[in-house]
Amino acid sequence: MKKSILILMSVQFFIYLGFGLIIPILPEVIVQQGLSEIHVGGLLTVYALASFFTAPLWGALSDRTGRKKLIIIGLIGFSLSFFVFAIFIENIVLLYVSRIIGGIFSGTLYTAVTGFVGDMTTEENRNRYMGLLGMSIGLGFIFGPALGGVLGNISLQAPFYGSGILILLLLVYASIVLKEPERVGEATKRQLLPKGGATFWQYRIRNLFLLSFMVTLILSGVESTFQLFQITTINITPLQVGYLFIASGLVDAAIQGGVVRRIKDGSETKWIYGAQIVTAIGLLLIPFTTSLLWAGFALSVFTAGNALARTALVSLTSKESGGKYGTAAGMTYSMDNLGRIIGPLLFTGLFTGIGGKLYYISAILAILSIVFIYLYRASKKTLRTTAA
């Protein structure tokens, strides 16, 4: 099992590394070609859309045909998307094609990997292994923009060629080492709306789902516009963006590993209030950028608030789920995906019209989203008593 879980962790890492890799490169590609900034949002959105709508189909297929086969197919398709992006980096139509291919096969990999872990684990140890996959996802988000920025300093194509080759090497290793698992646990696949998820919307937990959507919406909006704004303000380079995302990634890790452990049971809502205020402060700082140091400081403040809100929300949602942890996690994941679909297109559209002023709007949204926690606390319709 140890070899298998290491490979599966590597696959998850590369899925989210691939998502983050493009963040410091894409704005530079669009600006150099003199295209509208809206394409930055469009290329991020089509990736999320392709993954969101095809993942349930891949999940059903992996239930019938097996996990390993789908992982192999997914790695082939995912590596292809990187090579297409690198080769046709000056063709906007084929860039969209490459992003759609990447989204489709990232959905393949996500569902096959989570299904693989579901098959080979029991109820007792499943959370542990799912936690390892979650750690891999977090590392991918941290190192993706960093690697994209550093390799992008060599050439804009270099990060994509490098990632495509690494995924092909992982493909060879996985095809040799991975064995189709015996189905010890329940097969798990990603659904658009998790089975039984509609019930949640009758209870106050729905406010936590809506807040999760808002938190991810704002995060994806910053990811898609931050570099565009800094190019016009301080002429930032992809390498410098990579450094900034390394710094903010370390802040994220510090929040996850240090601050979150101090959150006592029952105090989550207070921490979320504070987190959204810190998020808003970070957003308000961005338009006043005059140097790379200030840009890094503003991004790190925003990241601290956003990371704290996300983690506290996950903890509170699991406690409020009435014991239906998996279904609640699936619903949160779906809401996060909706945020990643809508956010980039919405925020880049605003950026083309009002520039850096969109961060004032983002800060207002961060503060207004606190109303969901107020509504959550005001409601007595909870699933916790149901679980008891």
Strands (E), 155-207: none
pLDDT (average), residues 151-166:
89
Q: What is the pLDDT of residues 303-335, one digit of tens each?
A: 999 988 988 887 788 788 777 765 676 677 778
DSSP string, 301-364: HHHHHHHHHHHHHHHHHHHTSTT-HHHHHHHHHHHHHHHHHHHHHHHHHHHHHHGGGHHHHHHH
Percentage of the chain modeled with pLDDT above 70: 89
**Rounded Cα gap, residues 334 and 355, in angstroms:** 30
Question: Over 50: is that where the pLDDT of 189 sits?
Answer: no
Q: What is the pLDDT of residue 199?
A: 79
Minimum mean pLDDT range among 204-213, 329-338, 369-378: 329-338
Q: What is the pLDDT, as a whole number, of residue 284?
A: 97
Share the mean pLDDT of the chain.
85
Task: Give the count of beta carbons closer than 10 Å to the beta carbon of residue 301.
Answer: 21
pLDDT, residue 151, reads 86
Residue 388 confidence (pLDDT): 41
Of all helices (H) and strands (E), which one includes residue 213? helix 205-234
Please tell me the distance from the alpha carbon of residue 38 to that of residue 36, in angstroms, as a whole number.
5
pLDDT value of residue 119: 76
Q: Is the pLDDT of residue 194 over 60?
A: no
Span of 168-177, 198-207, 229-238, 320-329 with lowest mean pLDDT: 320-329
* Biggest CA pair distance of the chain: 60
Tens-place pLDDT, residues 213-267: 999 999 999 989 999 999 999 999 888 988 898 888 888 878 866 776 677 878 8
How many Å apart are CA 24 and CA 35, to the nearest integer?
16
pLDDT tier at 197, thresholds 50, 70, 90 = low
Give the pLDDT band of residue 3 (cuts 50, 70, 90): confident
Q: Which of 8-12, 14-18, 196-200, 284-288 has the lowest mean pLDDT?
A: 196-200
Q: Which residues have C-beta within 8 Å of that of residue 87, sequence separation ≥ 6?
A: 157
What is the length of the chain?
A: 388
Higher pLDDT, residue 388 or 70: 70
Report whether 14 contacts 163 (CB < 8 A).
Answer: yes
pTM of the model: 0.81
Q: Is 289 in contact with 333 (CB distance < 8 Å)? A: no
| Separation CA 47–CA 236 (nearest Å) | 25
